[in-house]
Amino acid sequence: MLKEISQLNSVIFTFLATLPEETLKDLANGTLKLEISKKTTKTSDKSQKSPKINDICEHLQTITSREDATVYLQSLNLKRDELKEICDFYSIGVISSNTKALLTEKVIETVVGAKLRSNAIYNVPLK
Protein backbone atom coordinates (compact mmCIF):
# COMPACT_ATOMS: atom_id res chain seq x y z
CA MET A 1 0.00 0.00 0.00
CA LEU A 2 2.89 2.36 0.75
CA LYS A 3 4.25 1.84 -2.77
CA GLU A 4 0.86 2.75 -4.31
CA ILE A 5 0.63 5.91 -2.19
CA SER A 6 4.12 6.90 -3.30
CA GLN A 7 3.17 6.36 -6.95
CA LEU A 8 -0.03 8.33 -6.46
CA ASN A 9 1.88 11.22 -4.86
CA SER A 10 4.22 11.24 -7.82
CA VAL A 11 1.29 11.44 -10.26
CA ILE A 12 -0.34 14.24 -8.28
CA PHE A 13 2.85 16.27 -7.91
CA THR A 14 3.68 15.85 -11.59
CA PHE A 15 0.21 17.11 -12.50
CA LEU A 16 0.36 20.01 -10.06
CA ALA A 17 3.75 21.05 -11.45
CA THR A 18 2.09 21.65 -14.85
CA LEU A 19 -0.47 24.10 -13.44
CA PRO A 20 0.02 27.87 -13.54
CA GLU A 21 0.82 29.61 -10.24
CA GLU A 22 -2.57 31.37 -10.17
CA THR A 23 -4.39 28.04 -10.43
CA LEU A 24 -2.30 26.61 -7.61
CA LYS A 25 -3.20 29.60 -5.42
CA ASP A 26 -6.90 29.13 -6.21
CA LEU A 27 -6.64 25.45 -5.32
CA ALA A 28 -4.88 26.28 -2.07
CA ASN A 29 -7.48 28.87 -0.97
CA GLY A 30 -10.44 26.70 -2.00
CA THR A 31 -11.82 28.70 -4.91
CA LEU A 32 -11.00 25.79 -7.22
CA LYS A 33 -11.25 22.09 -6.54
CA LEU A 34 -9.80 18.97 -8.10
CA GLU A 35 -12.15 16.25 -9.25
CA ILE A 36 -11.32 12.66 -10.04
CA SER A 37 -12.81 11.07 -13.12
CA LYS A 38 -12.28 7.74 -14.78
CA LYS A 39 -9.92 7.91 -17.73
CA THR A 40 -11.68 7.03 -20.94
CA THR A 41 -9.95 5.77 -24.02
CA LYS A 42 -11.26 5.97 -27.52
CA THR A 43 -11.99 2.48 -28.66
CA SER A 44 -13.39 1.69 -32.02
CA ASP A 45 -15.90 -1.08 -31.76
CA LYS A 46 -15.26 -2.97 -34.96
CA SER A 47 -18.57 -4.78 -34.62
CA GLN A 48 -20.45 -1.47 -35.01
CA LYS A 49 -19.17 -0.92 -38.54
CA SER A 50 -21.63 -1.45 -41.34
CA PRO A 51 -21.91 -5.03 -42.59
CA LYS A 52 -20.52 -3.88 -45.93
CA ILE A 53 -17.35 -2.55 -44.30
CA ASN A 54 -16.96 -5.71 -42.19
CA ASP A 55 -17.31 -7.88 -45.31
CA ILE A 56 -14.76 -5.79 -47.19
CA CYS A 57 -12.28 -6.02 -44.31
CA GLU A 58 -12.76 -9.77 -44.00
CA HIS A 59 -12.16 -10.23 -47.72
CA LEU A 60 -9.08 -7.96 -47.66
CA GLN A 61 -7.50 -10.22 -45.08
CA THR A 62 -7.70 -13.17 -47.48
CA ILE A 63 -5.98 -11.36 -50.37
CA THR A 64 -2.33 -12.28 -50.88
CA SER A 65 -1.05 -9.64 -53.31
CA ARG A 66 -1.08 -5.86 -53.47
CA GLU A 67 -2.28 -5.97 -57.07
CA ASP A 68 -5.27 -8.15 -56.23
CA ALA A 69 -6.13 -5.88 -53.30
CA THR A 70 -5.94 -2.82 -55.56
CA VAL A 71 -8.21 -4.42 -58.16
CA TYR A 72 -10.65 -5.52 -55.44
CA LEU A 73 -10.92 -2.10 -53.79
CA GLN A 74 -11.18 -0.28 -57.12
CA SER A 75 -13.93 -2.64 -58.27
CA LEU A 76 -16.01 -1.64 -55.24
CA ASN A 77 -15.93 2.04 -56.25
CA LEU A 78 -15.90 3.08 -52.59
CA LYS A 79 -16.59 6.60 -51.44
CA ARG A 80 -13.98 8.46 -49.41
CA ASP A 81 -16.07 8.09 -46.24
CA GLU A 82 -16.22 4.32 -46.71
CA LEU A 83 -12.45 4.19 -47.14
CA LYS A 84 -12.13 6.23 -43.94
CA GLU A 85 -14.31 3.65 -42.15
CA ILE A 86 -12.00 0.89 -43.37
CA CYS A 87 -9.03 2.93 -42.14
CA ASP A 88 -10.74 3.28 -38.76
CA PHE A 89 -11.31 -0.48 -38.68
CA TYR A 90 -7.56 -1.04 -39.02
CA SER A 91 -6.59 1.99 -36.87
CA ILE A 92 -4.91 3.66 -39.84
CA GLY A 93 -4.23 7.36 -39.37
CA VAL A 94 -6.19 9.60 -41.71
CA ILE A 95 -5.90 13.32 -42.27
CA SER A 96 -8.38 15.50 -44.13
CA SER A 97 -6.09 16.00 -47.12
CA ASN A 98 -5.81 12.25 -47.81
CA THR A 99 -7.23 11.43 -51.22
CA LYS A 100 -9.18 8.27 -52.09
CA ALA A 101 -6.08 6.93 -53.85
CA LEU A 102 -3.90 7.53 -50.79
CA LEU A 103 -6.47 5.99 -48.44
CA THR A 104 -6.65 2.94 -50.71
CA GLU A 105 -2.86 2.67 -50.71
CA LYS A 106 -2.72 2.97 -46.91
CA VAL A 107 -5.29 0.20 -46.49
CA ILE A 108 -3.47 -2.10 -48.92
CA GLU A 109 -0.09 -1.52 -47.28
CA THR A 110 -1.51 -2.00 -43.79
CA VAL A 111 -3.40 -5.18 -44.54
CA VAL A 112 -1.75 -6.94 -47.48
CA GLY A 113 1.68 -5.28 -47.43
CA ALA A 114 2.21 -6.08 -43.76
CA LYS A 115 1.29 -9.70 -44.38
CA LEU A 116 3.70 -9.94 -47.32
CA ARG A 117 6.55 -8.31 -45.37
CA SER A 118 5.94 -10.60 -42.44
CA ASN A 119 5.96 -13.69 -44.65
CA ALA A 120 9.16 -12.53 -46.37
CA ILE A 121 10.92 -12.10 -43.05
CA TYR A 122 9.55 -15.33 -41.63
CA ASN A 123 10.63 -17.34 -44.67
CA VAL A 124 14.19 -16.02 -44.84
CA PRO A 125 16.46 -19.07 -44.77
CA LEU A 126 18.85 -18.93 -41.85
CA LYS A 127 22.23 -20.54 -42.45
Q: Is residue 77 left, alpha or beta, with left meaning phi > 0 and alpha meaning psi from -120 to 50?
A: left
pLDDT of residue 18: 77
* Mean pLDDT, each 10-residue run in order, the chain (127 residues): 80 77 86 77 56 92 95 95 94 92 95 89 78
**Mind listing the pLDDT tens digit for each residue in 88-101?**
999 999 999 999 99
Confidence (pTM): 0.60
Tell me if 90 sits within 8 A of 58, measured CB to CB: no
Distance (Å, whole) CA 73 – CA 83: 9
